[in-house]
Amino acid sequence: MKTFVVKKKNLKNNWYIINAKNQILGRLSTEIAKRLIGKHKTEYTTNLDNGDYIIVLNAKKIIVTGNKKNNKIYYKHTGYIGGIKKKFFKEMLLYYPEKIIQNAVKGMLPKNILGKKMLTKLKIFSGNKHNHNAQKPKIINI
């Protein structure tokens, strides 16, 4: 009996669109991470990047459960002494809605070179329009 191992040249990456309007952040992020890694495919291999490209629309209309809208904090450090900055979820939703989804998905990907490569296949837009029509993406309902 032989074990089938997928080769890099045999990989095919598809493009998908996900609408984030009225979606819960954590549940949406796990679905996106699963598709970026490629775990939804039968030919999943841990050492290859066989995930798909994901386009996320309406990032500014994402929701969170509980009181996270007021209590969730995003930290950033400038690199200088005492340079820690913090922003609440409400502020991030106003100014950087793409960063909210990107941070959530980044935490669910592998922490290595392969994970960074997978994150580049995530395209997030705060509105309804995107510039990837040439790839003919398919719509996923979550």
Q: Kindly indicate the confidence band of residue 4, based on its pLDDT and cuts at 50, 70 and 90.
A: confident
User: Amino acid identity, residue 39?
Assistant: K
85 close to 77: Cβ distance less than 8 angstroms? yes
Cα separation, 22 vs 61, in Å, equals 6
Q: Kindly indicate the confidence band of residue 19, based on its pLDDT and cuts at 50, 70 and 90.
A: very high
Which structure tokens are listed for 46?
């841990």
Q: What is the pLDDT of residue 3?
A: 83
Give the ranges where 66-112 is alpha helix by DSSP (H). Answer: 68-71, 89-95, 97-106
pLDDT digits (tens, 9 = 90+) for 82-132: 999 999 999 999 999 999 999 999 999 999 999 999 999 999 999 999 999
Q: Where are the beta strands (DSSP E) in 1-142?
A: 15-19, 53-57, 73-77, 84-88, 122-124, 138-140
Q: What is the pLDDT of residue 113?
A: 96
Q: What is the pLDDT of residue 53?
A: 97
Q: What is the pLDDT of residue 5?
A: 83
pLDDT digits (tens, 9 = 90+) for 30-64: 999 999 999 999 889 889 999 999 999 999 999 99
Q: What is the pLDDT of residue 87?
A: 96
